[in-house]
Amino acid sequence: MIAVKRDGHVLGEHQIDWVIDAYTRGVVAEEQMAALAMAIYLNGMDRGEIARWTGAMIASGERMDFSGLSRPTADKHSTGGVGDKITLPLAPLVAACGVAVPQLSGRGLGHTGGTLDKLEAIPGWRAHLTNEEMLAQLEGIGAVVCAAGSGLAPADKKLYALRDVTGTVESLPLIASSIMSKKIAEGTGSLVLDVKTGSGAFMKREADARELAATMVALGDDAGVRTVALLTDMDTPLGLTAGNALEVRESVEVLAGGGPADVVELTLALAREMLAGAGRDDADPADALASGRAMDVWRRMIAAQGGDPDAALPKAAETQVILAETDGVLARLDAMAVGVAAWRLGAGRSRPGEEVQAAAGVELHAKPGDRIRLGQPLVTLHTDTPERFERAAAALADAWTIDDTGCDLRPVVIDRIG
């Protein structure tokens, strides 16, 4: 099989089924799977191979079943970015409109934040639920955000860890099958993908993001899961915060009827797609947000998982403000630089299992298009360990451009695929 892909040929269905099963059971050695992953990285896969690979990873574990719920289900997956807190207001918003949201989420690594890390900034909140607890919460409240169980696509968990240390993470077929194997195994009736492109995204080139989105939509449709993708901008961070407790605070502001315009816009756009996929086109998510119904679901969802929705969120022991050194218009604010700064302040991790600081992160005081005055605050750095300030500030050294030429902003939602 390694030689087949090395020489640019197509793997057979039985070969794919065998290798995924054998690797999961430990029959195929790590160095052999690493060689096969590199051959796939270099030579790609056709649609049939990707679909079979995805199916084999699904078959390596259990499949959840939500058919017994009294309401339809819809889920969302984001390919990750900076300040991407959308799951937090989105799940209760869609649930408030009558659709159950089984949101299995992950943790951050490097410059991208993790939904579970953010929610764990809320005192008492727990990420791990049994399948029975998850089903009960979906029926009673309508939304759950929790960690995926070890039984879902265990082949993917093992293969991702290998790809992470062998330079093969950026393989489009392996990315698509990794994401979709978990989402299809999760058992949701419909799926909306938020595929980001730009400096702070995994797919920096728009053409690559489009190809990934189209591949995942096809995989979902082939598996009988109604799937659409929104191609969204990640040149600039979403909202005004990047960090765990900071992003929770901003999400609650959105649920209370405020919050940054770009976060509200993307939340509503994704909510409308999720509701349409679940057959609830008649529901108005904007009304559910304005009326406070989404906030009610948020409070119940957090409390059901042991969290206190009224508790004060952690605040950093130390802050440092960076001031503008000139007048003009903020023409550019680089998402990757902001994400790296938040990571260096302690909001993210450099390896799985590393502890994160709940209060660390970057708070923005301006977004591209805003008029800037000399000496005004541009960003505030938050951390419990002030020795981190120097390296975080260094990450931001070339993060923005202030001049009088203005800026040409991309829309938050660039395109819809599917």
Active site (annotated) includes residue 156: yes
Q: Which one of the listed residues 156, 194, 233, 262 is annotated catalytic?
A: 156
Per-residue burial over 333-371, b = 16 or more CB atoms within 10 Å of its CB, e = otherwise: bbbbbbbbbbbbbbbbbeeeeeebbbbbbbbbbbbbeee
Q: Which one of the listed residues 76, 182, 293, 388 is annotated catalytic?
A: 182
C-alpha dihedral, 408 to 412 to 417 to 418, nearest 10°:
-160
Q: Which one of the listed residues 52, 71, 76, 77 is annotated catalytic?
A: 77
Residue type, 76: K
Distance, CA of 83 to CA of 80 (rounded, Å): 9
Q: Mention every residue, 6+ apart, whose C-beta is less than 8 A from residue 18.
A: none
Distance, CA of 244 to CA of 44 (rounded, Å): 36
Q: Which two tokens stand for residue 173?
A: 């077929």
Active site (annotated) includes residue 9: no
Q: Which one of the listed residues 5, 85, 111, 163 is annotated catalytic?
A: 163
Q: Which residue has the tokens 């289900």?
A: 73
Active site (annotated) includes residue 351: no
Active site (annotated) includes residue 178: yes
Radius of gyration of the chain (CA): 21
Cα–Cα distance list, 186 to 148, 155, 304, 400 (Å): 9, 14, 21, 40
| Residues assigned a catalytic role | 77, 156, 163, 178, 182
